[in-house]
Structure 1
Amino acid sequence: MKIIDLMAARTSPFYSLEFFPPKERENWPGFFRTVERLKALDPLFASVTYGAGGSTQDNTLEITAHIKNAIGIEPMAHLTCVGADGEKITDFLDKLRAAGVHNVLALRGDAPRGVEIDWNTQAFRYASDLVTFVRDCCPDFGISVAGYPAAHPESLTFSDDLAYTKVKLDAGSDFVVTQLFFDVREYFNFVAQLRAAGVNKPVLPGILPIQSLGSIRRILTLCGANIPGKLYLALEEANEKGGDEAVKEAGLEFAVQQIRRLVDGGAPGIHLYTLNKADMCLEIAERAGL
């Protein structure tokens, strides 16, 4: 079933979840136990990542099928442009369909670490190219795309980034899942600008709970998100007083406050970047009261 249809049928805010498949098969049972535990959140869907350049795409396919057919959560498989061509994409979509999976998140993707990519030589240069291809070849599939409340780090201007997002949506995608952010005003501004541009499709905010100062520093260098100075100073103070555990608690409480403000402001739901951590997600949901 298309996720956009599940959204339309939902009358109250919901959670959706993002998981990254373990590369080693011996870790799969523990991973699936985590997914099973998070069924308690009644997630609308679960997105499943794969490595840059499709390095774990076979794992994504098998794990996505298991989440759908054995655990009973509607999955959405990530699909990227890196190293892809029409034949590879069609083959992957056919395998997803055969497994009962009919939703993908179309992304440009990043190059594998240490690899330079000339995007002009790629069969698919932009996520919008991927959206167009999937929409034409597989009208039975639901398609989501990424959005960047603080703008993609490679975009020259905020208005350019907004225009690119609109292109992806106009190409046939159903809804947006945002990159992580820490200032809810960025999300509401992003949505308002899309609405002003004539885009009325759902925009689902992505929330990543902070785990440690080290982890947030790494994440900020990768995704281009901003962190409010007041929050960063609070995390540093927590770190000085109680180390990683104190930072984790502060990060968890901040995520709870984000969720409450987003839902109160009209967000359709919350997309949790789970980090494959069930306890953390369950604690957030309990505190947020969504």
Structure 2
Amino acid sequence: MSAAPRPTLLRHVAAVAQRRCCYCCCCCCYWRQLSQRSHQVRNISQIMHAIEGTLSVTASTSLPIEPCFHFTAGQVANCGKQPRLGDLVANKTRIGEFFYGIEITSNTRGIITCVDFNQFLPVLPTFISLAWLAPYWQVEPIGQVQTLQLTRALESYIPAMPHLSTYRLSEQHYDDFFDLNFDNLLAVRGDELHEDQAYKYTRQMVAHARRARGKEMTIAVAGHPEGHANDLELGPQDIDKDLTYLKEKIDCGSDFIITQICYTPEPLIEFLRKVHRVGIEAPVMVGVVVPNSFKSYLQMERVSKIRMPKEMRAEAEKYKNDDAKAQSYFVQHALSLIQRVLDADLGMHGIQFYTMNNFEPVFEVLGELRRRGILKESSPNAASGAA
């Protein structure tokens, strides 16, 4: 090798090494925590491989996983204990600062979800929530649930909130979950009940969480502007009774509310008014979905049992063979809904994006909200992630 190119090569190697070190810094907190539980990981791995043929669903949701997150320089600099999420949401709501969160699932068709937080800059989500999947009740120990593994990898860099469903969970499940000392929880009942589960209602889980963790844990609960589409006891129109249950969840100690999907602003605005009338003072975030295709919308419709109004759905269906036009339609629709709810001036300042692990349409909505001056950079804090 000639002498001339050697310095260039060395500089290239040094640059690669530096990037490698930066990546390791991003992951150091997570891997320290993971190594402390390595003996559990080995045991579970052996057990799951042994029963993979008969319980493939359990195996696919409980094996140790390698997270796929890329954090901003600001998140790395502020790696450590994050601010209490309930206080962040309450303070932003109090001062009227628009903010948002994102919801993801742990995987898409078996592939672990990747999130590059740099793509959200200059304004990062205030938090990230991770959906609970039905088979998770079978996973032992509960800490090996995929979403909880991902929560552990996230929580030093951004407030991370795992969902927990009442479906088929025993009191021991709850005790084991609270022993993991997560800072945040979205308590949901889910669409199905089982005779073996300890709690029938979300408020019972909320009360258990407060007994176990006191005020240290932030607890969020769901709100249903159009009633429960899948509920066994409450019909879609039984909204007043549902509001009574919602107030009970708040009175048991919930910090804030995230609404279920709603495709038109009128039910959301009426819901916010009724929330105030029944004496609920907790902040409310509005749940928004931005499909990237008509097929993606249909998938969400099947899961949630919530449909767009007939005329709106017919308009969206025109683009069933053109994903780009369908995404543009859903982006504009989401922007219109958000604007209408904000213009109603009912104290709502937070949006939760149900991403379905499709981030591009969310980026489009966020970009337009910045251009409109709605989404702005706030003063630096541990959750801002600014470089």
> So what's the TM-score if we normalise by structure 2?
0.65
- Please, which of 55, 66, 75 is the counterpart of residue 153 of structure 2? 66
Does structure 2 retain, via aligned residues, the 8 Å contact 1:53–1:82?
no
Residue 178 to residue 169, structure 1, CA distance change in 2 (3 Å):
same
Tell me the alpha carbon deviations over residues 229-277 of structure 1, each in whole angstroms, 9 at most, x when there is no partner.
33212212333xx533322211111112222222333322111112222
Cα distance in 1, alignment partners of residues 116 and 327 from structure 2 = 19
Match of residue 132 from structure 1: 207
Residue 216 to residue 32, structure 1, CA distance change in 2 (3 Å):
closer
| Count of matched residue positions in the alignment of Structure 1 and Structure 2 | 273
Residue 174 to residue 280, structure 1, CA distance change in 2 (3 Å):
same
Tell me the alpha carbon deviations over residues 143-163 of structure 1, each in whole angstroms, 9 at most, x when there is no partner.
010111110122132222222
Match of 1:238, SS state, is coil
Residue 15 to residue 193, structure 1, CA distance change in 2 (3 Å):
same
Letter in 2 for 1:256: L
Does structure 2 retain, via aligned residues, the 8 Å contact 1:150–1:226?
no
Match of 2:318, SS state, is helix
1:276 and 2:357 correspond: yes
CA RMSD of aligned residues (A): 2.2
Match of residue 54 from structure 1: 136
Tell me the alpha carbon deviations over residues 206-229 of structure 1, each in whole angstroms, 9 at most, x when there is no partner.
000133333323423432434223
Residue 258 to residue 88, structure 1, CA distance change in 2 (3 Å):
same
Greater mean alpha carbon deviation, residues 195-204 or residues 57-66: 57-66
1:286 and 2:367 correspond: yes
* Uncovered stretches (5+) of structure 2, i.e. residues with no partner: 1-82, 376-387
- Please, which of 98, 104, 108 is the counterpart of residue 13 of structure 1? 98
1:165 and 2:265 correspond: no
> So what's the TM-score if we normalise by structure 1?
0.86
Question: What is the percent sequence identity of the aligned residues?
Answer: 26
Cα distance in 2, alignment partners of residues 261 and 150 from structure 1 = 17
Greater mean alpha carbon deviation, residues 3-12 or residues 141-150: 3-12
* Uncovered stretches (5+) of structure 1, i.e. residues with no partner: 112-116
Match of residue 77 from structure 1: 162
Letter in 1 for 2:364: E
1:122 and 2:201 correspond: no
Match of 1:105, SS state, is strand
Cα distance in 2, alignment partners of residues 200 and 225 from structure 1 = 27
Match of residue 253 from structure 1: 332
Does structure 2 retain, via aligned residues, the 8 Å contact 1:16–1:272?
yes
Cα distance in 1, alignment partners of residues 169 and 99 from structure 2 = 33
Cα distance in 2, alignment partners of residues 172 and 59 from structure 1 = 27
Does structure 2 retain, via aligned residues, the 8 Å contact 1:15–1:41?
no
> 5 Å matches for 1:13-32?
13-22=98-107, 27-28=111-112, 31-32=113-114
Match of 2:285, SS state, is strand
> 5 Å matches for 1:89-108?
89-95=174-180, 97=181, 101-108=182-189
> 5 Å matches for 1:136-285?
136-139=211-214, 140-153=216-229, 154=231, 155-156=234-235, 157-239=238-320, 243-266=322-345, 267-285=348-366
Cα distance in 2, alignment partners of residues 124 and 196 from structure 1 = 28
